[in-house]
Structure 1
């Protein structure tokens, strides 16, 4: 006997079933993330064993292959997708010693893409830049650098972070220090302009004049921490000395003690090498041609192991995918994760994916990117999309209160023109969201520095981020409503122009770089 069930009753029953299913899956995500976390193992394998992931280096390709194998172990389809080529370079040992007027092994390293000493050892006097009065006088001085090691950075007034001065100095002494520091930096900038060179062209001019090596200090304003970027020289090595040792050698040269340095700096140029994004996929069952994405850049600078920039984001997204595959193996929409190459040189990997996959960009339900350190997510910006509030608020509703109550949301927000890979999608009109996190002194101590290592990770906070990302993906996949990429007409005012912000343009992707 057939009985008709009233529509309202059927709807209530169906909704109750959906809520029950949702509660079961979100509960499983939370339990798995907290009780069976793989984050520490992933961090060890990526950061300790593989290490830093400079674009064009063997370690970058090693990381790509490691991720593909890891996904395969979890039953997730993954591949390395070529997007371009980069100048290949492999780091070797760096050893720097002060040999006169006393002995000391110095703390320092060669910069990325630095030329090698070719198996030889440099033994030479270290000198500093002269007092610069004008470009003519400076050009006359240049020939005197032949056979010398030249220090080209400003010697810092103090090696103590400003926060340390503020905490311990009297108010008058702190203000005096700040004034002197400002004047010191201003005088240095003026002197550099008078030389007729900037940081890049000066290094090239010095090596062309016969300098044996270039030494810099790129202090990051924290105890024992320096930014480590790339070399500008093509014939002689460029090295970064720690602030403490740079200051020692600088003062010896300044006071006529003629410091002698011994340098061995090995590296290999590998020609142009292919570069890849690693893409993993859990295929959707009902709407396979609509996509929800996780996103984090895979590459790093190589002053340390690239833990918080962006090893933390990488392992977070891998762990979220592992958990989703375990408890949500048949998503309504296709789940993708992009581990991008060459973010550090201008969002090249993600930009290439956007250009190469218009079908994903056109049918993207949402993308969630994490990139700025090891801390818990505390902000989500609507990126200027008119209806972001509707979706984000709905998806966040399933996230545990202990996590979502820490998050500030801004709607409609403003579209980002850079910063990280979600911006590549936003510029193309696709809903890319940044899961921005608390600082943990990221800007000073770990962002692009020689201290961005495994020990700086705060795993409990990354675990919370895994739960957030996995649940947001699940909710976005299950949402019966297709998201809208309608742009808000109420964008913030650009302070420079006094007019509403313009939507960012897509960046030109560098497909052949480092040359």
Structure 2
């Protein structure tokens, strides 16, 4: 009799395992089928990137994107809301026209930087000058008296507009070596000259905000920078620090032309029309969507991507593609897995670009969620397929992440390199906000596709750079990982590994600690 009972239990357990495997296969197959046959990625990308455009914190376009995301989720039957976490300087970009009017007429390629004060429709016309070689701070202060009524060029002159890979392909070894030597020498001279002013800073223009303020207070007509990204046609576009005069970034080709004309004594003159609107102060939001859990609603699996961007391009790969991945994954999960065991949340964070502010605010404002996170998956480094997954320093991450990855189709998972236990991120993207609070948060790191040079924070970060096949694979991967995390019978361990000794300091590394967000940005 006992043997019969044991046999019956064994058979029942076997059938249970088989049914569970069959159920998993069915859901995974449904995820792949929906993502492949009914993808919404192209439509979402067009509406977000072409229709709304760049999403700089504090701009009307950022709020438009928040509202658009809420409306999209509502169409899919998913509850969503905009959750205010702070406020920011409100500003809206207008037109930028930059023309050289002497010694000849030519329209120039460039744009005003974020939060630039408006020139008004009449614009500003003035001569362009370059900085001389300074002997020290006093020499710089004496020279500053001569900048009144002039546009001042504050960025390094580039001797070539060709990326290194282009030189490597076509130049002789001797020519390539000579170019690098000359370039390094000129860069060194430029850096040393800036240091002698007492106002050097290697973020963007090269000058610190105090240095730019000194030029502005001395009556400069405007500031001209060129933050080349080391790629054809790409410049990094950040923010202006001037209060009344325009700050523009010129693409390398036009910047170096103006530089040569000014250096050779031709006294070039440009006209800049850079219109914008100072809108005071605007509230800032995270867009949060949720599918309520049916068995363990107080445990959470989170999809994570920041919705904001810089505004040189339209924020396509930073972080439009991450946003698309999470929205598409949520759409698919709602369709094929409408009653998850655990609650699924997606966070579209605001002001990541100014210091992870939206996600840090969420962590600070929702301790009841943070302490009950099963897993968080973040994506934020371009359009490429996911190729790296680290355990983020959590000691037992290997056990559950590898098990969840087993459900992912081989044509996706074969590209992914894993690292366990890995190390905790202290910054870089929004997963770091959660890791610092001890929550198991993992970054889905993508193949480069020349992200750092061509699209990261540049004027070329636009729709046409998206590789939709890779983004589709990432949406499938994310949806499956979320499904597996929701279904897991066990609560994940968030036990931290012992971090190694730092090679740089020789001291024991410490786990990052939570940081409070900036909740009143640009309003001082």
Check whether the contact 1:310–1:372 (CA below 8 A) recurs between aligned residues.
yes
1:125 is aligned to 127
Q: Which residue of 2 aligns with 1:324?
A: 333
Task: Give how far 1:149 is off.
Answer: 1.0
**Which residue in the other structure is 2:490 paired with?**
481
Give, in angstroms, the shift of residue 172 of structure 1. 1.6
Residues 292-351 of structure 1 deviation map (CA, whole Å, 9 limit, x = unaligned): 010000000000100000000001100000000000000000000000000001100000
Superposed, 1:246-285 pairs within 5 Å as 246-285=255-294
* Counterparts of 1:202 and 1:154, CA distance in 2: 15
In structure 1, the partner of 2:80 is: 78
- From 245, 248, 256, the equivalent of 1:239 is 248
Task: Answer yes or no: is the 8 Å Cα contact 1:85–1:275 preserved in 2.
Answer: yes
Instruction: Give the CA deviation at 1:196.
Output: 1.8
1:154–1:188 CA contact under 8 A, matched in 2: yes
Q: Which residue of 2 aligns with 1:460?
A: 469
CA distance in 2, matches of 1:248, 1:157: 11
In the alignment, is the contact (CA less than 8 A) between 1:414 and 1:492 conserved in 2? no
Separation in 1 of the partners of 2:141 and 2:502?
42
SS in 2 for 1:41: helix
> 1:436-469, CA deviations, whole angstroms, 9 ceiling, x for partnerless residues?
0000000000000000000000000000001100
Task: Report SS of the residue matched to 1:439.
Answer: coil
Aligned to 2:177: 175
Query: Runs (4+) of structure 1 moved beyond 6 Å?
Result: none
Is 1:28 equivalent to 2:37 in the alignment? no
Check whether the contact 1:369–1:435 (CA below 8 A) recurs between aligned residues: yes
Query: Residue in 1 aligned with 2:104?
Result: 102
The within-5 A match list for 1:174-213 is: 174-198=176-200, 199=207, 200-213=209-222
* Pairs within 5 Å for 1:43-442: 43-198=45-200, 199=207, 200-442=209-451
Give me the TM-score of the superposition, normalised by structure 1: 0.98
**Matched residues in 2 for 1:365 and 1:121: separation?**
55
Long gaps (5+) in structure 2: 201-206
Measure the CA separation in 2 of the matches of 1:345 and 1:329. 35
Range that drifts further, 504-513 or 450-459: 504-513
Of the structure 1 ranges 312-321 and 503-512, higher mean CA displacement relative to structure 2 is found in 503-512
In structure 2, distance between residues paired with 1:247 and 1:104: 14
Cα distance per residue 1:180-238 (max 9 Å; x no partner): 11111111111001112221222111110001111100000001110000011111110
CA distance in 2, matches of 1:177, 1:413: 39
**Following TM superposition, by how much is the alpha carbon of 1:137 offset from its aligned partner in structure 2, in angstroms?**
1.6
Is residue 2:512 matched to residue 1:501? Answer: no
Is the 8 Å Cα contact of residues 44 and 454 (structure 1) preserved in structure 2?
yes
SS at match of 1:225: coil
**CA distances 1:127-184 after superposition (whole Å, capped 9, x unpaired):** 1112212211221111211111111111112111112112211112211211111111
Q: Distance in 2 between matches of 1:343 and 1:145?
A: 36
1:362-417 Cα offsets, whole Å, 9 max, x none, are 10000000000000000000011011000100100000001111000000000000
CA contact (8 A) 1:124 1:149 kept: yes
Task: Report the Cα offset of residue 498 of structure 1.
Answer: 2.3
Q: Distance in 1 between matches of 2:199 and 2:402?
A: 52
Q: How many residues align?
A: 512
SS in 2 for 1:477: helix
Q: CA deviation at 1:501?
A: 2.3
Equivalent of 2:458 in 442, 449, 459:
449
Q: For residue 204 of structure 2, what is the aligned residue in structure 1?
A: none
SS in 2 for 1:6: helix
Give the drift of 1:83.
0.6
Could you say what secondary structure the match of 1:220 adopts? Answer: coil
In 2: Cα distance, 1:497 partner to 1:422 partner: 25
Deviation of the 1:506 alpha carbon? 1.2
Mean Cα deviation higher: 33-42 or 135-144: 135-144
Shift of 1:492: 3.5
Shifted more, 135-144 versus 33-42: the winner is 135-144
SS at match of 1:136: helix
Q: Per the alignment, in what secondary structure is the counterpart of residue 145 of structure 1?
A: coil
Q: Could you say what secondary structure the match of 1:244 adopts?
A: helix
Q: Distance in 2 between matches of 1:496 and 1:196?
A: 28
The answer to whether the Cα contact below 8 Å between 2:389 and 2:416 also exists between their aligned partners in 1 is yes
The alpha carbon displacement at 1:514 in A equals 1.2
Q: Larger deviation: 115-124 or 491-500?
A: 491-500
Q: Provide the C-alpha distance between the structure 2 equivalents of 1:435 and 1:196, rounded to a whole number of angstroms.
A: 41
CA RMSD of aligned residues (A): 1.1
